[in-house]
Amino acid sequence: MIVTLAEAVAELVHDGDTVALEGFTHLIPVAAGHEIIRQGRRGLTLVRMTPDIVYDQLIGAGCARKLVFSWAGNPGVGSLHRFRDAVQHAWPGPLEIEEHSHAGMANRYVAGASGLPFAVLRGYTGTDLPRHTATIAPITCPFTGETLTAVPALNPDVGIVHAQRADRRGNVQYWGITGVHKEVVLASARSLVTVEEVVDELTPVPGAVVLPAWAVTRVAHVPGGSHPSYAMGFSDRDNDYYQRWDAISRDRAEFGRWLEGLTS
């Protein structure tokens, strides 16, 4: 159940998989993303509501074939330059995109976690998104006749998140901004949770979410595994790193040096 990060990624993430590393500013599994880069995975369909620095790195490193997302940026700083370079100049390779809104993506995970083929929401009406995204379609309410929007379930091959702690049996506990953590773990065929600490017994925390061990495939003990994002109670968001990434990612050569540092 509890394995090393390298073992977990080797076992769970295969070339060509659909992989979601989720985290809404908080608890982003950055170390797991770096391990995917180190192990040289290719042809991944990367899924995430808010692809940020770690997705910029995965895209720049050539791991991704496609991105399914709703907002791709360096939060609070600006653009993701590796993502931009891939979309605008197909560097290091072409990147197919499937673009949604946050509400659409959140509901796709909910449908995936619920074992349903699609979700329904009031959304997208009047926007240009449905013209470019095949996974947005109008649907008529069978009770009122009202036109709403349907989006298909997202069921990744692998869902990866970071959390505050687990016990030795692999029950996982996390709190703070919980994003779509629960939904992505339950929607995915296989899941990995990296944790700040492993304890004998989970202490109850108000508002915390507990994922029972049997709902999670693997847990890896990775202290600081969400840096530069944060784990409430363990670390603060490293805002300077997000700002520094802008300069590193703007330039292909500069990014290449960063990548060499990660993989060597």
Nearest residue to 29 via CA among 187, 205, 159: 159
Q: Provide the 8-state DSSP code for 218.
A: E
Q: Residue 59, SS3?
A: helix
* Strand bridging mode 2-3 / 18-21: unpaired
Q: Does 135 bind another protein (CB under 8 A)?
A: no
Residues in the chain: 264
* Closest distance of CB 106 from another protein, Å: 4
Q: Residue 30, SS3?
A: helix
Q: Which of 10, 11, 14, 25: binder of another protein (CB under 8 A)? A: 25
Question: Contact region for another protein (CB under 8 A) — 9-17, 22-30, 214-222, 248-256?
Answer: 22-30
Question: Contact region for another protein (CB under 8 A) — 5-13, 37-45, 79-87, 166-174?
Answer: 79-87
* Closest distance of CB 18 from another protein, Å: 19
Question: Contact region for another protein (CB under 8 A) — 1-9, 13-21, 74-82, 247-255?
Answer: 74-82
| Radius of gyration of the chain measured on its C-alpha atoms | 18
Indicate the residue among 200 and 240 with the shorter CB distance to another protein.
240
Q: Which of 29, 123, 159, 170: binder of another protein (CB under 8 A)? A: 123
Contacts (Cβ under 8 Å, ≥6 apart) of 95: 59, 64, 65, 66, 67, 83, 86, 87
The answer to whether 80 and 157 have CB atoms below 8 angstroms apart is: no
Q: Please spell the DSSP secondary structure of 107-133, one letter per residue.
A: HHHHHHHHT-SEEEES--TTSSHHHH-
Q: Which of 116, 137, 212, 239: binder of another protein (CB under 8 A)? A: 239
Q: Residue 24, SS3?
A: coil
Q: Residue 178, SS3?
A: coil
Q: Does 226 bind another protein (CB under 8 A)?
A: no
Q: Does 73 bind another protein (CB under 8 A)?
A: yes
Q: Does 183 bind another protein (CB under 8 A)?
A: yes
Q: Which of 121, 198, 202, 205: binder of another protein (CB under 8 A)? A: 121
Question: Contact region for another protein (CB under 8 A) — 2-10, 78-86, 151-159, 219-227?
Answer: 78-86
DSSP H or E segment with residue 9: helix 5-12
Of 50-69, binders to another protein (CB under 8 A) are: 50, 69
Contacts (Cβ under 8 Å, ≥6 apart) of 206: 175
Question: Contact region for another protein (CB under 8 A) — 1-9, 32-40, 54-62, 180-188?
Answer: 180-188
Q: Does 236 bind another protein (CB under 8 A)?
A: yes
Backbone angles phi, psi at 238, to 5 degrees: -90, 80
* Strand bridging mode 64-69 / 96-99: parallel
Of 243-262, binders to another protein (CB under 8 A) are: none
Q: Does 100 bind another protein (CB under 8 A)?
A: yes
Residues that bind another protein (CB under 8 A): 24-26, 49-50, 69-73, 75-77, 79-80, 83-84, 87-88, 99-103, 106-107, 109-110, 121-129, 132, 146-147, 176-183, 207, 230, 232, 236-237, 239, 242
